[in-house]
Amino acid sequence: MNHRQHDHSLPAADLPWILAAVGVALVALLATMAPGLTWEHFGDDGGELTVAVATLGVPHPSGYPLYVVLGWLFCQVFGVLGPPAFCTNLLSVVAGAAAAGAAVAIDRVADRRFDLGLPGWAAAILGLTGTLGYTFWSQAVITEVYVLHTALSLWTVAALVRWHEARRTGRAGGTWLWAAGLLWGLALGVHLTAGFLAPGLALLLLATDKGVIGRRPFWYALLTCVGTVIALYALLPLLATRNAPVNWGYIRTWDDLVHHVSGAQYRFRMFVFSGRDLLARARDLFWPLLARQWGTGSLALLGVGVGWGLWATTWGGTAATRSYARRVGAAWFLLWLPTAFYSLNYQIDDLPPYFTTTFVLLGLLFPVGVGALARWTDGLGPSRLARRVVIGLACLVPLAGVGRQVDELSLRGDRLAGEYGRTALAAIPRGSLVVSDFDGRTNALLYERWLGGGRGSDVAVILRSMLATRWYRDHLRRLYPDRVIPEPAPWFANSGWDPLCDHVAEAILRQNATAARFLVKDTQPFARNWRLVMTGGLFRLTEKAGAAEPRGRGRFQAVDLVPFANADYRGDPFLPGLRDGDHPHYPALGEGEMVSPEGIPFWLASPRSLSGRASVITTCYLADFRVRVPLPASPAAALHLVVAGGVCREASGPLAFVQPWYADGPGDPVSIAGLPDYRDVRDTGLRYWKIPLGGRSPAAVEIASGRAVTPEPFVPGVVVLAMTLEGAAEGGSPPDGQAPAAAPGGR
């Protein structure tokens, strides 16, 4: 380790490499950024965050005040380039590029302090790739808070290590210490988990200057940090008074502010696992996710960095250098471990983004690993060329790992979330009332309602899963003054969360009966108590006429598939058998009526989660499948099917055969082919197929496996989700012919 004095121009010499990394990251992230609202990469909160940003509202805890302010500025400055979601995605891109620059700044200091001997280009490559791992990149191309939080946290560390270098080389560096305080305060203003950096930052401070607490620069930095945090979070009650469409917490008192900022409503998810559970989660969640960041080959490079660090703290160098390495190494360890520990202890479905900062801090080991390899090369002989070749090859390892994931991470063609919101809002009347669970679909509706084409539609979007809270009901009354938002009945006061939400939601639906009412999901008890009709990816609610409604409309009559069904659309409809899942394959479908673009009504059976029975027929994965479904023996114009294609990406030939049978024998078989593979579609994947019957009276219809050929090791086929028999019209049947039509909207 080299403790020689360094010239004051060294930080300036780092600037070209920092800017190079920022530029490359900016280009790469811009090229893969989502063009608007997206649900991908755990981006379900994007709609809520964008509405809060564009209208200066208050998003969910802890409120993210700096993110709201910066996002609003981006919307003002870059709004001419695209919609608000484009601007908030752009904020993530810029923050991602800034984080790459911070990583290079840290790597350059580490190179000098530990005498790694890396050329500037190597530090730039390793800082860039160490930042742009899978999780970080996935968050840097969508609307989320994690990348801005990581960028500010990383620049906090960069400013502190600059101060550390200045003090170790005999310079004051007080400005860097003050900058670190400011940056940390800003990071806390984005996400309070930046507080988990405190142990590592404190150890780095004390490892640099044990008497720093008694010096003015330290107190200037600390007061700047605290003042910044107070000023930022003081904005939240001011923003709450504006009653923007997103006004989480409806902050009116000091207790409201503390409750919101501290994330009190989420505490039941925090630190809930035992030691054994944590080990299992580390094995099943953390390590596979770490291996995915830069590819499995990069783990070896990280391992070399850890190995060299342990050697430097125990056997390498002199007693002084070992002591120094132990202090700095412990500080680095305490920078990432508390955040990782908290994330592992947090019980939530979208867990991977919480490790964004952790993985970037682990990526700082890449220069250490490459420097260690270069040192071993020096031991084989003093060849500068050999050293550079080893460094170059080592840099390729994480670079190649990142490059292999670009196509998977890219969202440049993703428009599904925005299309869903536009389709749904366009399909429902003005003044409608939509009750939805809190998920990506709800947020897409909020985005379209307040920032898209739904402005002025007077549609009320209500989150069912928050109706148990008094503040949310108060917020709704101010936001939608012409809607009735009742309080729970007294006997529901002590009910559980979900029953209370259901109770209030049903009261809202019944007391606003003059408005057209819709659901996003077929949530119980609504599926039992109302008639549901699919409309633009939503369920329209109407009162049930009686206990046993006829499943038909006019000359259209539903065909019951349940007695012959072998799969379920709320599990995996393409695999025969009954499979329940937390994430329904077709979340926009449920029991009730849906209408094709041509106006043909279909009736979907209850999913297994409600009925305990299979609901659809599939021929996928089945080479020799055949089922015969009885039909009413009356003159019919056509049989209509709702179908989807499965594992047919490279299939050629018919995916299935549909053959009508009459009293005097079989009719002509009709082949179903040319369906898109459900794995590739950006809409629902549903297609509508017509089988002409020419006014004859069918006795049954037979569905059988096709003869499609595919190089994949699966049998391609179809899923039949619903069938409708169209009776012969008076005066003749409709013209024959068949043509599939795409389903509107949905996922």
**DSSP-assigned states of every residue in 472-538:** HHHHHHHHSTTS--PPPPGGGTT--HHHHHHHHHHHHHHHTTTS-EEESS--TTHHHHEEEEEETTE
Distance from C-alpha of 332 to C-alpha of 182, rounded to nearest angstrom: 20
| Residues present in the chain in total | 747
Is-contact 221 178, C-beta < 8 A?
Answer: yes
Q: Which two three-digit tokens encode residue 331? A: 């500080």
Per-residue pLDDT, 742: 43
Residue among 682, 671, 684 at smallest CA distance from 716: 671
Confidence of residue 593 (pLDDT cuts 50, 70, 90): confident
Distance CA 152, CA 65 (A): 14
Q: How sure is the predictor about 679, in pLDDT bands with cuts at 50, 70 and 90? A: confident
More confident residue, 7 or 331: 331
**Using CA atoms, how far apart are residues 56 and 316, in angstroms rounded to an integer?**
55
Among the listed residues 342, 360, 337, 334, the one whose alpha carbon sits nearest the alpha carbon of residue 263: 342
pTM of the model: 0.83
Partners of 188 in beta bridges: none
**What average pLDDT does the segment 652-677 reach?**
94
* Structural tokens at position 107: 């790597």
Q: What's the rounded mean pLDDT across residues 35-47?
A: 95
Task: Give whole-number Cα distances, 439 to 64, 202, 573, 628, in Å.
Answer: 19, 39, 22, 39
Query: Which pLDDT does position 605 carry in this prediction?
Result: 87
Least trusted range by pLDDT, from 317-321, 381-385, 488-492: 381-385
| Residue 2: per-residue pLDDT | 43
Q: What is the pLDDT of residue 381?
A: 64
pLDDT value at residue 239: 97
pLDDT, average across residues 342-361:
93
Q: How far apart are CA 336 and CA 355, in angstroms?
A: 9
User: Residue 380 — pLDDT band, cuts 50, 70, 90?
Assistant: low
Do 17 and 121 form a contact (C-beta atoms < 8 A)? Answer: yes
∠ CA(395), CA(399), CA(405), 5° rounding? Answer: 160
- Of the candidates 92, 121, 106, the residue with the CA atom closest to the CA atom of residue 33: 92
Q: Assign 573 to helix, strand or coil.
A: coil
Give residue 1's pLDDT band: very low, low, confident or very high (50, 70, 90): very low
pLDDT of residue 6: 41
| Residue labelled with tokens 């596979």 | 288
Query: Tell me, what DSSP letter sits at residue 37?
Result: -
Map tokens 């049903």 to a residue.
506
Q: Give tens-digit pLDDT for 66-115.
A: 999 999 999 999 999 999 999 999 999 999 999 999 999 999 999 999 99
Spatial separation of the C-alpha atoms in residues 167 and 175, rounded to whole Å: 12
| pLDDT given for residue 746 in this prediction | 32
The pLDDT confidence band at residue 252, using thresholds 50, 70 and 90, is very high
Mean pLDDT of 52-62: 96
Amino acid 412: pLDDT: 94
Confidence of residue 744 (pLDDT cuts 50, 70, 90): very low
What is the longest distance spanned by two Cα atoms in the chain? 102
- Asked if pLDDT for residue 736 goes beyond 50, the answer is no
Report pLDDT for 63. 96
Mean pLDDT to the nearest integer, 193-207: 96
User: Does the pLDDT value for residue 620 go beyond 80?
Assistant: yes
Tell me the C-alpha distance between 364 and 392, whole Å. Answer: 17
Q: Which residues pair with 567 in a beta bridge?
A: 616
Q: What's at 633, amino acid-wise?
A: A
Residue 650 to residue 672: CA distance in whole angstroms: 15
Query: Distance of alpha carbon 525 from its chain centroid, rounded?
Result: 28
Looking at the predicted structure, is the pLDDT value of residue 735 above 50?
A: no
| Degrees, nearest 5: CA angle 500-501-506 | 100
Token look-up 């055949």 returns 626
Per-residue model confidence (pLDDT) at position 23: 98
Q: Give pLDDT, residue 379.
A: 67
Q: What integer pLDDT is reported at residue 549 of this predicted model?
A: 55
Q: Following CA atoms 12, 16, 19, 21 in sequence, which dihedral angle do they give, to the nearest 10 degrees?
A: -120
The per-residue pLDDT for 524 is: 65
Given a cut of 80, whether residue 12 has pLDDT beyond it is no
Quick: pLDDT tens for 456-488: 899 999 999 999 999 999 999 999 999 999 999
Look over the chain and give the mean of its residue pLDDT values, rounded to a whole number.
90
Q: Is 742 helix (H, G, I), strand (E, B) or coil?
A: strand
Q: How confident is the model at residue 739 (pLDDT cuts 50, 70, 90)?
A: very low
Q: What sign results for the dihedral spanned by CA atoms 320, 326, 332, 335?
A: negative
pLDDT band with cut points at 50, 70 and 90 for residue 571:
confident
User: In what order do the strands lie in the sheet containing 592-595?
Assistant: 460-463, 433-436, 517-519, 538-543, 530-535, 592-595, 601-604
Give CA–CA dist 89/700, Å, rounded: 53
Whether 734 has a pLDDT exceeding 60, the answer reads no
Whole-Å CA distances, 260 to 61, 160, 237, 496, 638 = 5, 31, 10, 21, 58
* Phi-psi region at 685: left, alpha or beta (left = phi > 0; alpha = psi -120 to 50): left
pLDDT for residue 78 = 97
Residue 627 in this model has a pLDDT that exceeds 50: yes
Return d(Cα 339, Cα 337) in angstroms, integer: 5
Q: Which of 144-153, 180-189, 354-363, 383-392 has the lowest mean pLDDT?
A: 383-392
Q: Could you give the percent of the chain with pLDDT greater than 70?
A: 93
> Mean pLDDT across the stretch 145-163?
97
What SS3 state is found at 218? helix
Q: What is the DSSP letter of 572?
A: -
What are the φ/ψ torsions at residue 721 (nearest 5 degrees)? -90, -25
What's the pLDDT band for 264 if we cut at 50, 70, 90?
A: confident
Residue 240 CA, chain-centre distance (Å), reads 26
User: Two tokens at 670?
Assistant: 């009709």
Interstrand relation of 460-463 and 530-535 (parallel, antiparallel or unpaired)? unpaired
Tell me, what's the pLDDT at 265?
84
CA atoms within 13 A on the CB side of 276: 0
Res 699 pLDDT > 90: yes
Comparing 45 with 375, which gets the higher pLDDT? 45
- pLDDT given at position 104: 97
